[in-house]
Structure 1
Amino acid sequence: MSDSPLIMLAAGGTGGHLFPAEALGVALMKRGMRVRLVTDSRAVRYSGLFSKDMVDVVPSETVRGRTPWALARTGTMLAAGGAKALAVLLKQKPKAMVGFGGYPTLPPLIAAKLLGIPTLIHEANAVMGRANKLLSSRVTAIATSLPGVLDHDPALAQKATVTGMPMRPGVLAAAAVPFNSPDASGALRVLIVGGSQGARVMSDIVPPAIERLEPALWHRLNLVQQVREEDMARVRAVYDRLKINAELAPFFSDLPARLAASHLVVSRSGAGTVAELGAIGRPSILVPLPGALDQDQFANAGVLERANGAIRIAQPDFTPDRLAAEISTLAAEPARLTAMAIGAKSVGRLDAAERLADLVTTVAKI
C-alpha cells in the first residue's frame, strides 16, 4: 500500500466537515488509494476512519472579530499553519488535496497550490462558505452537494460538479429503510434535533407547542428530542406532566437510524442534516440558524422546501402556536407526510461519495 496514490483530505474539526471527508476516504480506499487527514486539534475528539497515524494536525484559527488584535491573531495562526502544511506536503507527496470547508482548510489548500499539487474543494451548503469562497478561484475543481450554488458566477460554475454530500455507512443503511406513513390513530414518531451542540430554541419552543396540542394527540406521540444538559430538567418536567412518551438526551450516536424511524423531524438545517433528510427521505420542519452572514441554513432548507419535502420556518416565526398548528395538521394528514417523504428523497444522492471519488481521480490524474 505504500506505493499506492495518496490523497490528502483537509477538513475543519467538526462533524459537518469530517463526516463527508470520512465518507470520501472510505470510497478512495476501496479503490486502492491511501488517505490522510489534515485538520485542527478539535478532530481528536472524533473516532472513525482516521486513526492517529493517518492525521496531521495543522494550526489554524477562525476569524472571530474585526479588531486589529483578532485579525492579527488569525493571520499569525494561519501563517503558522501554512508553514506546517508545507512541511507535511513535502514529506507526504500527495497526488491531490481535497478540502471540505472551514478555516483549517486554508493552510493545506494554499500550500498545495504553492507546490503545484492538484486541489479540489467540496461545498456542502447551498451558499458557499467563507473559507471556500477564498479558495474557489485558486483550486483546480469544485464539487457541490446541491445544484445551483455557483450559478451566479459563470467562471466558477465552469469548474464545478454537483456530486452530492458523501454519506457515512450509517446513513446509507438508514436510507434503505422505507417510510411507513403513520396510521390516523397510531403512534406518531417525532424527532427533534438542533445540530451537533443542540439548540436552546428547541427546548424553549417544542415543549409548550406539545402542550398546545389536543390531548388525544399526546397519547399518540413518541418523541425523541436532543436537549442540552442545562435544559433537561425543565423539558422533562413538561413531558412528564403531560405523560408524553419522550426520550431525551444531549446527543444521539445513532442519529441516522433515528431519522429513519421518524415520521417527522424538527431540526436546524445545517448542510449535513439537509443532506441526510434527503438521502433517507423524511418529512421535516426546518428552523434555520438565524444571524449567519451568508444565511446558508436558510438556503439549505429552501432546497427541501422547494422539493415539497420540508416546511421552512424562520426562527422569529417559530412559536409554540405555529409549531403546534403544523404538527396537528400533519398528524391529521398521513398522505401529506408520505408526499413530503417522497419529495425529500428526490433531493438525496446516495452515490455522492463515489461521484466525488470519480472527480478526485480525474483531478489527480490517477
Structure 2
Amino acid sequence: MDIAPLILLAAGGTGGHLFPAEALGVELIKRGLRVRLVTDSRAVRYGALFSKDMIDVVPSETVRGRSPWQLARTGIWLAVGTATALNVIRRLRPAAVVGFGGYPTVPPLMAARLLRVPSVIHDANAVLGRANRFLSRHVSAVATSLPGVLDRDPALRQKTTTVGTPMRPAILAAAAIAYNPPGATGPLRLLVVGGSQGARVMSDIVPGAIERLEPSLWSRLILTQQVREEDMTRVRAVYDRLKIQAELKPFIADLPARLASNHLVVSRSGAGTVAELAAIGRPSILVPLPGSIDQDQFANAGVLSQAGGAIRIAQGDFTSDRLASEISNLLAEPARLTAMAEAARSVGRLDAAERLADLVVKVAGI
C-alpha cells in the first residue's frame, strides 16, 4: 500500500503561529495527506491536532539583541537547529515544508532548501515578520494573509499568493454564531485578552476603566479577563470591591467560544487575534504592542480599524479614562456595535485553509 505524502509544518511555539498550522493540518488530512509539526518546546500547550508523537522539537533561538555575543549565540543555536532539522527531513522525507513564522521555523526551512525540498512560508501579519523576511528569498512560494504585503518587492511579489489566515475548526464553529448586541437592560459581556502570555498593561488599565464606568453598568457587566498570575491578586481586589461578575484566568483555553459569546473585546492586535476577530465578526478595542521593529501589531489593528470593525488605541494613549469613555460610548450604542461586528466580518476569510492547502499541494507537486 502506498504511503500518503507527508507535509512537514514548521511554526514558532505560540498560538499565533501554531493555530494557522493546525488549521492547515486539518485541511491536508482531509485531503488524505499526512502531517507532522516541527517547533520548539512551547508547542504542546497550544496544539490540539498535534499529539506528542506528531511533533519534532528542533533547537532554535530568537534574535534578542545586536551585540556580537548575542548575535553569535543566536547563530550557533540556529546552526545546531539546522543540523537537527536536516536529520529530521532526511528521516521523514516530506513532500514539502511549510513555515508559519517565528525563529523556530528558520532551521527546518533552511534544511529544506539545502535538501531541495519544496517549501512555503505563510505570514499572517500586515508586515512580514523578521524570520519570514529572512526566509522569503529561500523558499518556493510565499503566502500572505493580507494583500499588498510584498507589493514593493517585485522579486517576491511574483511568488506571493494572498490566501488569508487559516482558521482552526473552533474558530470556524464560532464564526457560525451570529452577533447578538446587548439589550437595554441585559448583561454586558466584555472580554479582555493580552496575547499568549497575557499583558501587564491590561491589568494596569482595565480595572481602573471599569471603576470609571457608570455604577449602573457594574451590575450588568460580565467580565472575562486574561490576567498574569503575578497580577491576579491586585486585579481581583478591584473587581471584588466593585462587585463585578468577573472571571480571571492566566490562559483562556476556549478563546474562540469566548470571542463569539462576548459583546466587546479589548485586546492586543497580534495577527492571529485580528484574523480571528475578523473571521468571527466581533467589535473590538485594539491596543498594539509597542516597540516592535516593524510595528506589525499597529498595522494589523489598522486593517480592522480602517474597515470600521475596531477602535485602535496606541499604548501611549491607552489610559483608564480613555478606555472607560470608549467602552461607555460603545455599550450605549448597540447599533454601532452591530455595525462594527459586520465590518470586522467583512475582512475575514473563512476559506484560507483550503486556499493555502491548494498552494502547498501545487508547490509539492502532489
TM-score by length of 1: 0.97
Contact 2:19 2:47 in 1 (8 A): no
SS where residue 36 of structure 1 aligns? strand
Q: Deviations over 1:107-165 (max 9, x none)?
A: 11111111111110000111100000001112111111122211222221221111111
Structure 2: unaligned runs, 5 residues or longer? none
The answer (yes or no) to whether the contact 1:61–1:103 under 8 Å persists in 2 is yes
Task: Give the structure 2 partner of residue 195 of structure 1.
Answer: 195
Partners of 1:52 and 1:207 lie apart in 2 by 39
CA distance in 2, matches of 1:83, 1:241: 56
The one-letter amino acid of 1:133's match is R
Q: Paired residue for 1:226?
A: 226
Quote how far apart the aligned CAs of 1:60 are.
Answer: 0.9
Q: 1:322–1:239: structure 2 CA closer, same or farther, 3 Å change rule?
A: same
Q: Offset of 1:67 from its aligned partner?
A: 1.7
Q: CA deviation at 1:2?
A: 6.1
- Contact 2:6–2:35 under 8 Å retained in 1: yes
In the alignment, which residue of structure 2 is the partner of 1:78? 78
Partner of 1:246: 246
- Percent of aligned positions that are identical: 77
Q: CA deviation at 1:208?
A: 0.9
Matched, 1:54 2:37: no
Match of 1:164 in 2: 164
- Per the alignment, residue 326 of structure 1 pairs with 326
- Partners of 1:200 and 1:35 in 2: how far apart? 36
Paired with 2:190 and 2:45, the residues of 1 have a C-alpha distance of: 29
Query: Could you tell me how far apart the structure 1 residues matched to 2:50 and 2:222 are?
Result: 36
- Determine the C-alpha separation between the residues in 1 that align with 2:82 and 2:2: 26
The one-letter amino acid of 1:173's match is A
Q: Which residue of 2 aligns with 1:94?
A: 94
Structure-2 separation of matches of 1:240 and 1:44: 34
> Hey, what's the Cα distance between the residues in 2 that align with 1:355 and 1:42?
28
1:108 aligns with 2:108: yes
Residues 59 and 78 in structure 1, CA contact (< 8 A), matched pair in contact too: yes
Structure 2 residue aligned with 1:177: 177
Conserved 8 A contact 1:82-1:108? yes
Q: Please show how residues 339-358 of structure 1 align to structure 2 within 5 Å.
A: 339-358=339-358
Which residue in the other structure is 1:210 paired with?
A: 210
Q: Secondary structure at the match of 1:181?
A: coil
Q: Distance in 2 between matches of 1:143 and 1:102?
A: 15
Q: Deviations over 1:90-123 (max 9, x none)?
A: 2211111100111111111111111111110000
Q: Is the 8 A contact 1:184 1:331 kept in 2?
A: no
Q: How does 1:242-281 map to 2 (within 5 A)?
A: 242-281=242-281
**In 1, Cα distance between the equivalents of 2:354 and 2:265?**
28
The letter for the 2-side match of 1:212 is R
SS of aligned partner of 2:42: helix
Q: Secondary structure of 1:79's match?
A: helix
Distance 1:183 1:46, change over 3 A: closer
CA contact (8 A) 1:8 1:37 kept: yes
Corresponding pairs, count: 366
What residue in structure 1 maps to residue 309 of structure 2? Answer: 309
Deviates more, 1:306-315 or 1:40-49: 40-49
Query: Quick one: distance in 2 between partners of 1:324 and 1:197?
Result: 24
Bigger mean CA offset, 45-54 vs 267-276? 45-54
Give TM-score scaled by structure 2 length: 0.97
1:137 alignment partner, SS class: helix
User: Which residue identity does 2:79 align to in structure 1?
Assistant: A
Q: Which amino acid aligns with 1:18?
A: L
Amino acid of the structure 2 residue aligned with 1:63: V
Query: Structure 2 matches for 1:147-158, cutoff 5 A?
Result: 147-158=147-158
| C-alpha distance in 2 between matches for 1:279 and 1:47 | 20
Distance 1:227 1:43 in 2: 21
Q: Would you say the 8 A contact 2:18–2:47 is kept in 1?
A: no
Amino acid at match of 2:365: K
Q: 3-state DSSP class of the match of 1:9?
A: strand
Q: CA deviation at 1:47?
A: 4.1
Q: What code does the residue aligned with 1:200 have? A: R
Note the 1:113-132 alignment, pairs <5 A: 113-132=113-132
> Larger deviation: 58-67 or 282-291?
58-67
